[in-house]
Amino acid sequence: MTADIELFEDLDAVARDADGALDRAAQPSLFARLDWFRLLAEHCPPAGKLLVLRASAGARRAWLALAVTHPTAAAYASWYSLRFDAIGDHDEALLTAIAAALRDGGLAKAELGPIEDPEPLKRSFRAAGWIPFVTPRTVNWRIYTIGMDFETYWARRPAKLRNTARRKAKATTLDVTIHERFDAAAWADYEAVYRASWKPEEGSFPFLRALAEQEGAAGTLRLGIAKADGEPVAAQLWLVENGEATIHKLAYAESAKAMSPGTILGMAMFRHVLDRDRVTRIDYGTGDESYKADWMEEKVTLWRLAVFNPRTLGGLLGAARAWASTLAGRRRSR
């Protein structure tokens, strides 16, 4: 099968060519949609120039969105990107055509991630002559909740978490509201909590607000705010779509830590998505923070795929360094 390749340097051109194939109705994953890349481009673009490659053969199409700083490229992603991958048909011929186009363009290295299943891209880049290396990048905690209501879910949580939640709920009166549509006052509360929290400086509040507005209009937003005596002390930003709830951001005011407002709000959020939204999976984003194990049941590795072009000196040197690092890691693990 011979694949046709097109290269795009702006998202409007991608949209015209895709003709709806990268819209919400066609792409179940937020991170595969043109709207997601538009938000990134406007508010927190990665370093480099946008390059979107599209391979097609008959009705089958695949896209790969990159940020290019010659002679290297990286995923068109930010720290808000919980997943990254090729979009569309993961047909090896299509992905190999994309990899070959990048090879012929003179790139020495490309680094992609976080990818849940790197094997299709790894095989395709290898078939196109690249030298691929797959290494762990981060982890994702999740739980499958098919047929599970909140009481069933909660009974399976560790006793320490349940006891803490019960004790704090008795000792503290918190007003919890979960917004399914964007509300400017609730968003101001979210930002206030985040600024008063232990979290590092936020990458882009305008990005998150635009995401909340977009998803609120689509009905997927679940923005939880907990208040004590009228003051916001905890906030959580979730999205619910296609039977899956994804926890994007959460924070609590450091001054309210003794009340465990994050735990109490978390209970309300889990109850809402399980008993009202009836989700079948809950995804805790990326990161291996210890508290996530109390709320979730499965930990999955998300991967980094680094590929090197042996037709370039930089690619050869990069592959040699990657191979040396791999060997050193194997020795340390013995």
Q: Judge residue 79's burial from the number of C-beta atoms within 10 Å of its C-beta, 0-12 exposed, 13-18 middle, 19 or more buried.
A: exposed
Tokens 């980094």, residue? Answer: 304
pLDDT at residue 185 above 90?
yes
pLDDT at 322 (0 to 100)? 93
User: Above 90 in pLDDT, residue 197?
Assistant: yes
Higher pLDDT, 2 or 18: 18
**Domains recognised in the chain with CATH numbers:** 4-139+300-333 (3.40.630), 147-279 (3.40.630.30)
pLDDT of residue 328: 67
Residue-wise pLDDT tens digits, 75-105:
999 999 999 999 999 999 999 999 999 999 9
Distance set, CA 243 to CA 23, 117, 246 (Å): 18, 21, 10
Report whether 101 contacts 79 (CB < 8 A).
Answer: no
Residue pair 237/190 in contact by the 8 Å Cβ criterion: yes
DSSP 45-101: PPSSEEEEEEEEETTEEEEEEEEEETTEEEES--TT-S----EE---HHHHHHHHHH
Tens digits of residue pLDDT in 29-86: 999 999 999 999 999 999 999 999 999 999 999 999 999 999 999 999 999 999 999 9
**pLDDT tens readout for residues 265-298:** 999 999 999 999 999 999 999 999 999 999 999 9
Q: In 3D, which of 33, 15, 14 has the Cα closest to residue 241?
A: 33
pLDDT average, residue stretch 302-326: 95
Beta strand 281-286 with 244-252: parallel, antiparallel or unpaired?
Answer: parallel
Mean pLDDT of 137-164: 97
